[in-house]
Amino acid sequence: PSPPSSPGPPAMSRRPARSHLSLRTAALALLCACKPIAAPTVTAAPPPAPPPAPDPCADTSIPPDTDAALARAAVLRRCGAPRAVLAIHAELLQRDPRPRWAHELAAVALAEDLVPEARELLQGPAARVGLALLNVAAYETTGTPADREAARTEFQAALALAPDDPYALAVALRHDLALADREPERLALAAQICRDRIPGDDPDADGGDPRGAALLAASCARVSLAAHEPGEARRRFALALALDPGEPAPRLAWAAAELAAGNDRKAAELYAPALDAPAASDRYLAGLGLGVARSRLHDPTGAEQAYRLAARARGWRTGDPPERLPPELQFNLGLALAGPGDPARHAEARLLLTAYIARPDADELRRLRARQLLLELAD
């Protein structure tokens, strides 16, 4: 028999190794299952900021459309840029040589104290009615024969070009009213012009120019006031408002007439809408007149509010030096604040009334009243 073979090294078993590898793989799988890989976070970009609103008072070119140009002029008056408004009316006068644009240019210049600038812009035959208006206003202030004659020459030349032009007729009426105290026959002449030219009560009968018809109606209302015909004056003022509701001048003139007549409630009703007029000068007159009306109606709070609106139209705020206010507003607002109220109101009243007393141009009767109020406030 063959000898038994010698035993070799025991064979390596692979089963335990495979089991160890399976455990490691399972553990890794469990680890991955417990902590999944997070997807990258995408942050949304913020929405773009809206563009800044355009500045309505910034310099821009004059719109080619007439209505758009007039709307732009109204915006510029609110911005306190009267010279830019003059430029718009001068451009309209160049585009369309009619007396209307010359008259409106001159009216803005008178309201904003820009007469020399207006005279430089008023060129050409259609500009004569604007020059006539400036000369009539100068005569009302100076009373010199030169201004009176210059006004007469200019509006007569304008009427020679267009005999029915309402703007030239309105200047002629203002000229006659300025002379009526010295020459009573002028009032009769103006009254006859109004009877012949003014449209009826129908606002549609405006001859195709409602603004001009409204100006003529308001001018004739002043003629009626001078002739002591208040009923006819009211009818003509009402017609002017119906023809051109957005124009504050007839409203302010009517309100002032009612205030002078002691019809304070009607005056307050008329003044209130003019507080939103584009021109600061019109807003000032509206606030001042409304304050007087509310004061007479025993409404000191309403009077104070109206006077402050008038002051704001002049660029004045509470705390500003009282010397910056016009004299009539110094006195009237001081009077409104001097009534029953808290010490702060009385302190402001003292400042305003003291500033009024110090004015060399103060009315003497009002100066005495201001001194009396200061003595009462000191008690």
* Residue scoring higher pLDDT (49 or 105): 105
What mean pLDDT do residues 324-339 have?
Answer: 94
Q: What pLDDT does residue 30 have?
A: 43
Averaged confidence pLDDT in the chain: 87
Residue 159 pLDDT more than 70? yes
**Which pLDDT does position 353 carry in this prediction?**
96
* CA gap 171, 122 in Å, rounded: 16
Rounded distance, CA 199 to CA 286, Å? Answer: 28
- Whole-Å CA distances, 46 to 49, 50, 51, 210, 247: 9, 12, 15, 53, 48
Q: How does pLDDT run across 5-61, given as a tens digit for each residue?
A: 444 444 444 444 444 445 555 444 444 444 555 556 666 667 777 777 778 898 889
Is 205 in contact with 167 (CB distance < 8 Å)?
no
Q: Give residue 42's pLDDT.
A: 60
- The model's confidence at residue 317, banded by pLDDT at 50, 70 and 90, is confident
Spell out the residues 6+ positions from residue 310 whose beta carbon is closer than 8 angstroms to its own: 283, 284, 285, 286, 287, 288, 291, 329
pTM attached to this predicted model:
0.82
Note the pLDDT of residue 8.
Answer: 45
| Highest mean pLDDT pick, 60-64, 291-295, 340-344 | 291-295
pLDDT band, residue 200 (cuts 50/70/90):
low
pLDDT at 3: 45
pLDDT above 70 covers a percentage of the chain that reads 86
Average pLDDT over residues 321-330: 95
Which pLDDT score, from 0 to 100, does residue 31 have?
43
**What pLDDT is stored for residue 204 in this prediction?**
60
For residue range 126-158, what is the model confidence (pLDDT) as tens digits? 999 999 999 999 999 999 999 999 999 998 998
pLDDT at 111 over 90: yes
Tens-digit pLDDT profile for residues 201-254: 666 666 678 999 999 999 999 999 999 999 999 999 999 999 999 999 999 999
Residue 25 has what pLDDT?
52
pLDDT at 357 over 50: yes
The proportion of the chain whose per-residue pLDDT surpasses 90, expressed as a percent, equals 72
pLDDT per residue as tens digits for the range 274-303: 999 999 999 999 999 999 999 999 999 999
What mean pLDDT comes out for the span 299-320? Answer: 93
pLDDT category, 183, cuts 50, 70, 90? Answer: very high
What string of H, E and C letters represents the secondary structure of 77-138?
HHCCCHHHHHHHHHHHHHHCCCHHHHHHHHHHHHHHCCHHHHHHHCCCHHHHHHHHHHHHHH
